[in-house]
Structure 1
Amino acid sequence: MNPTITKGINIAISKLFEKDHHLLSHDLNERTIAHKLAVYLQEEFQEYNVDCEYNRNVDEANKQKRIYVLESECKRLKKDFIKDIVDDDTEYMGLSTFPDIVIHRRGKNTDNYLVIEIKKSTNRLDRRFDFKKLECYTDKERYNNLEYDWGLFIEFETGMEKIKKTELIWFKEGKRIL
């Protein structure tokens, strides 16, 4: 694990807990929490742009940020992907995506540093889809060309006065780091 990135993430999360505890304890919208976290991340990663729900990809013809997943996995995830690519009789499905937070340099895919998906503990939606997105964002395979160096899933404990924990799950090169 890269100590610079973990230090910056931990400082930003600490600032969120200290300055915006209300957002977590009152279980506000994930977008609201993501925005405030992005503000603190920008302070820690000043040499990059930090954006919420950034949906552009300079390498796609339509400029949309898309992930590509095997058709069989799409059915398992029960998400509405669209048929997009057939390669050697293997079907890949495409989906436009809006990552919660990205740390990158705008306008190119060569400096996509970190992509973050967040979830609140009170959100009962399946985390597997967030994990699949992070695998695709960090995957260097043929069709997933976003090439983020790192992916991070953050689950914030919400809806309680005393917030006790935050779960961090890291991804690199299309795989979860254990």
Structure 2
Amino acid sequence: MQTELNKVIAAVEEFYAQEMFLLERDLGERTLTHRLAVYVERQFSGWQVDCNYDRLGERTLRLPRGSGSSTDDHLGKSIYPDIVVHQRDIPNNLLAIELRKDSNHQPIEHDQRKLQALTDPNVWFAYAMGVLVIVGQGGVSFTEVYAGGAIDSATSLWFAERLRESGLANRRDNGAPH
């Protein structure tokens, strides 16, 4: 998992090196998500990288009833991850990324529940891992890593430390959402 997370860090580094214009002008999360996906795609050769992708072949990604995660469609069934690293036609889903701006005042629990559901090994389309990244002008202010349908605390701490070492962590504490 650390190999893939190092690729995410490299993508975030390139994102910050190239996209400060967007952050300084407080553009929307969808714009930031797309630009981060461009850099993620450069790191994951041989994989497809998509934004808001809700399919596997012809099937729509739907959460099981009672999963506890809210969804983004009017029927409350489909799920739209911000960025995915996957193979489109087969159930080979490597990574789901949820990106938030640190100025987003909506509850973080929505993104956390979504990553729990996306990495739940009991769903047919489970992703091997999920990453929550909160970005702002000063750097990454918060991250979490998910695996097996839950936060992977040890890997989350490792990931946050790697971001600090790379100079990407915001001056504020990277251990709690703001």
User: Which consecutive unaligned segments of at least 5 residues does structure 1 have?
Assistant: 83-93
- Write out aligned runs for 1:122-133 (5 A): 122-133=103-114
Q: How far apart are 1:164 and its partner, in Å?
A: 3.5
Provide the residue aligned with 1:37 in structure 2: 36
TM-score (norm 2): 0.78
Query: What one-letter code is carried by the residue in structure 1 that aligns with 2:3?
Result: T
More relative contact order, 1 or 2 (CA 8 Å, 6+ apart): 1
Provide the residue aligned with 2:139 in structure 1: 164
Identity level (%) = 29
SS in 2 for 1:149: strand
What's the Cα RMSD here?
A: 2.2
Provide the residue aligned with 2:56 in structure 1: 57
- Write out aligned runs for 1:97-176 (5 A): 97-109=79-91, 111-141=92-122, 144-158=123-137, 163-176=138-151
* C-alpha contact (below 8 Å) 1:138/1:174 kept by paired residues: yes
Q: How far apart are 1:30 and its partner, in Å?
A: 0.7
Provide the residue aligned with 1:9 in structure 2: 8
* C-alpha contact (below 8 Å) 2:61/2:79 kept by paired residues: yes
Query: What one-letter code is carried by the residue in structure 2 that aligns with 1:32?
Result: T
Query: What one-letter code is carried by the residue in structure 1 that aligns with 2:18?
Result: K
Query: What one-letter code is carried by the residue in structure 2 that aligns with 1:170?
Result: V
Query: What one-letter code is carried by the residue in structure 2 that aligns with 1:108?
Result: I
Q: How far apart are 1:95 and its partner, in Å?
A: 1.8
User: Which consecutive unaligned segments of at least 5 residues does structure 2 have?
Assistant: 154-178
Instruction: Give the 4+ runs in structure 1 shifted more than 4 A.
Output: 77-82
Distance 1:42 1:80, change over 3 A: closer
TM-score (norm 1): 0.78
SS in 2 for 1:97: coil
Distance 1:114 1:25, change over 3 A: same
Which of structures 1 and 2 has the bigger CA Rg? 1
Give the number of the structure whose residues are more often strand, by fraction: 1
